[in-house]
Amino acid sequence: MTHPKITPVILCGGSGTRLWPLSRKSFPKQFVPLVGNKSLIQLTLERVARLGERVISVAAEEHRFMLIDALHAAQVSGPVILEPVARNTAAAMALAALHVVEGSDPSARDELLLFCPADHHIPDAQAFAETIGQGVAAAQAGAIVTYGVVPSFPSTAYGYIRQGEQRADGSHRVARFLEKPDVATARQLILDGGVLWNAGIFLTRAGTLIDALERHAPDILQSARQAMAAKGVEAPSTAGAARVAGKGSEFIRPEAAAFAACRAQSIDYAVMEPHDDVAVVPFTGQWSDVGSWNAVADLTEADDERNRVHGQGVAHRAQNTFIHAPHRPVVALGTEDLLIIDTPDAVLVAHRDYAEQVKDVVARLEKDNCAQVSVHRKVFRPWGWYDSVDMGERFQVKRIGVKPGASLSLQKHHHRAEHWIVVKGTAEVTRGSETFLLSENQSSYIPIGEIHRLHNPGRIELEMIEVQSGSYLGEDDIVRLEDTYGR
């Protein structure tokens, strides 16, 4: 199907707290490999790539390099707008629209923008593209088009859209947006018919969105304008991302103070509900926002007892139990209606009926300053990753992986020494005034206070064991003298 020019805009915010302990603040669900060893954001990028050559992404500053990796994996390029703080979807969409229309070309206001959340699972990309095409005429005529999913059951997890009369372009007017209902109301909505799940996907001209924000949320638009007027632009080469970002990618940083002053509100409340020209197009294909562990479980085929197992789980004399166990054997014996999620440093066991309340548990753990709310044992960095294998009073052991061609910062530590042992690949070590190579089974010692750097000159991942010892082993004991990644 041939489309006019559409620029996809991927909204990469969201913490995914209902998928804890797999999804955490530093590694939210859109970046977690959940489907066929691919992340939801990579699948989203692959899906929208057929609609437009350039993809705009709006993401948090701390997730920028994970996003660059996803762009590379999906073979997609385009500008990345980095929000200094989270201000919900209205502000994020305003940033993208303002980026498109900046400059002297008045035709940019007519550019069609397709706003998509990064964390939805839509397996039929062709059906998705065809459905998007059904909203083009309405969007070109000046409407904001939203896409609603035909309900398959009376869900209480989604808002609903009531369809109004059909428009001449084939879409329907939106009669009303409905809040997330209780069970009885959801059942009645399904029985009444004419309703769709609100998927949070929008197609509109850039100028249409800006005008609607000016009318309904002028303060949000003004804050976004001020932030973009004083923005910074960083080329991937200076951000240490040239290896993966590809041509046409750049980091755009709205001015932090102006954006921080912006009011946080969703686009639904800020614009969609009060706006008088909103159209809706139904999507009949398979769709999930993967918003709970029940939704994740549904991605795995069930056995005869309705058990679903991912990884090394074993369900014995169990019924309707989901086990997520990628790292070690996890056995469910005689269980029923349970969700069992195993990670190296935290385990969740929940009744299926309480899947939506996982976020409440996360809030409680956060109040108790539980570190596992924010970070995994395995932490991803722009140069690779590290996994904290063991820790004692004055020592810590890590496995470290460094991507081909990548380097850690030139740094030193005031309180710890480090022993490095290469177990895979080749390491180029800078220690003081000397630089040398280490191959597998070779090691080096970095004394306290010594300037050092680790680089992977090879074509395969470098993996090593690091043993730290000293009076203080926190991650903030790093003095960076040079850093490719602008930290």
Which range, of 3-17, 324-338, 445-459, averages the lowest pLDDT? Answer: 3-17
pLDDT band with cut points at 50, 70 and 90 for residue 92:
very high
pLDDT band with cut points at 50, 70 and 90 for residue 35:
confident
Which range, of 125-129, 177-181, 247-251, averages the lowest pLDDT? Answer: 247-251
pLDDT band with cut points at 50, 70 and 90 for residue 50:
confident
Secondary structure of 240-269 in HEC code, one letter for each residue: CCHHHHCCCCCEEECCHHHHHCCCCCCHHH
Query: Taking 50 as the threshold, does the pLDDT of residue 245 lie above it?
Result: no
How confident is the model at residue 296, as a pLDDT?
Answer: 93
Q: Which of 283, 313, 347 is the last residue of a domain?
A: 283
Query: Could you report the per-residue pLDDT of 395-447, keeping only the tens digit for each?
Result: 999 999 999 999 999 999 999 999 999 999 999 999 999 999 999 999 999 99
Could you tell me if residue 372 is inside a domain?
Answer: no
Looking at the fold, whether 36 and 77 belong to one and the same domain comes out as yes
Query: Taking 90 as the threshold, does the pLDDT of residue 53 lie above it?
Result: no
Domain that holds residue 350: 303-367
Looking at the fold, whether 360 and 468 belong to one and the same domain comes out as no
Which range, of 60-64, 110-114, 334-338, 449-453, averages the lowest pLDDT? Answer: 60-64
Could you tell me if residue 294 is inside a domain?
Answer: no
Kind and range of the H or E element at 309? strand 308-316
How confident is the model at residue 3, as a pLDDT?
Answer: 58
pLDDT band with cut points at 50, 70 and 90 for residue 278:
very high
How confident is the model at residue 14, as a pLDDT?
Answer: 79
Which range, of 99-108, 147-156, 428-437, 460-469, averages the lowest pLDDT? Answer: 99-108
Q: CATH no. for residue 388?
A: 2.60.120.10
Could you tell me if residue 487 is inside a domain?
Answer: no
* Burial group, residue 266, by CB count within 10 angstroms (0-12, 13-18, 19+): middle
**Residue in this structure with the two tokens 């680089």, named with its chain if needed:** 455
Angstrom distance (rounded) from CA 164 to CA 171:
10
Q: Which of 322, 339, 367 is the last residue of a domain?
A: 367
Could you tell me if residue 448 is inside a domain?
Answer: yes
Which range, of 6-20, 254-268, 345-359, averages the lowest pLDDT? Answer: 6-20
Query: Taking 60 as the threshold, does the pLDDT of residue 367 lie above it?
Result: yes
Angstrom distance (rounded) from CA 41 to CA 478:
31
How confident is the model at residue 40, as a pLDDT?
Answer: 95
Looking at the fold, whether 83 and 211 belong to one and the same domain comes out as yes
Angstrom distance (rounded) from CA 439 to CA 458:
11
Average pLDDT over residues 342-368: 95
Could you tell me if residue 221 is inside a domain?
Answer: yes
CB contact at 8 A, 11 and 119: no
Angstrom distance (rounded) from CA 24 to CA 18:
10
Looking at the fold, whether 310 and 268 belong to one and the same domain comes out as no
Could you tell me if residue 34 is inside a domain?
Answer: yes
Looking at the fold, whether 67 and 106 belong to one and the same domain comes out as yes
Can you read off the two tokens belonging to residue 269? 């409340």
Looking at the fold, whether 307 and 327 belong to one and the same domain comes out as yes
Could you tell me if residue 313 is inside a domain?
Answer: yes
Looking at the fold, whether 265 and 389 belong to one and the same domain comes out as no
Looking at the fold, whether 362 and 388 belong to one and the same domain comes out as no
Number of domains in the chain: 3
How confident is the model at residue 78, as a pLDDT?
Answer: 92
Looking at the fold, whether 106 and 253 belong to one and the same domain comes out as yes
- Percent of the chain residues past pLDDT 90, beyond the cut: 79
DSSP code, position 270: I
Q: CATH no. for residue 107?
A: 3.90.550.10
How confident is the model at residue 241, as a pLDDT?
Answer: 44
pLDDT band with cut points at 50, 70 and 90 for residue 4:
confident
Looking at the fold, whether 190 and 126 belong to one and the same domain comes out as yes
Angstrom distance (rounded) from CA 386 to CA 416:
17
Query: Taking 70 as the threshold, does the pLDDT of residue 1 lie above it?
Result: no
- Percent of the chain residues past pLDDT 70, beyond the cut: 96
Helices (H), 85-192: 88-101, 125-133, 136-140, 183-192
**How far is the first Cα of the chain from the last one, in angstroms, to the nearest whole number?**
44
Arithmetic mean of pLDDT over the chain: 92
pLDDT band with cut points at 50, 70 and 90 for residue 110:
very high
Query: Could you report the per-residue pLDDT of 185-243, keeping only the tens digit for each?
Result: 999 999 989 999 999 999 999 999 999 999 999 999 999 999 999 999 987 544 444 44
Looking at the fold, whether 166 and 203 belong to one and the same domain comes out as yes
Which range, of 35-39, 136-140, 212-216, 428-432, averages the lowest pLDDT? Answer: 35-39
Query: Could you report the per-residue pLDDT of 303-323, keeping only the tens digit for each?
Result: 999 999 999 999 999 999 999
Q: Which of 221, 254, 283 is the last residue of a domain?
A: 283
Looking at the fold, whether 149 and 49 belong to one and the same domain comes out as yes
Could you tell me if residue 217 is inside a domain?
Answer: yes
Cα distances (angstroms) measured from residue 369 to each of 62, 364, 365, 366, 373 = 20, 9, 6, 5, 8
Query: Taking 70 as the threshold, does the pLDDT of residue 166 lie above it?
Result: yes
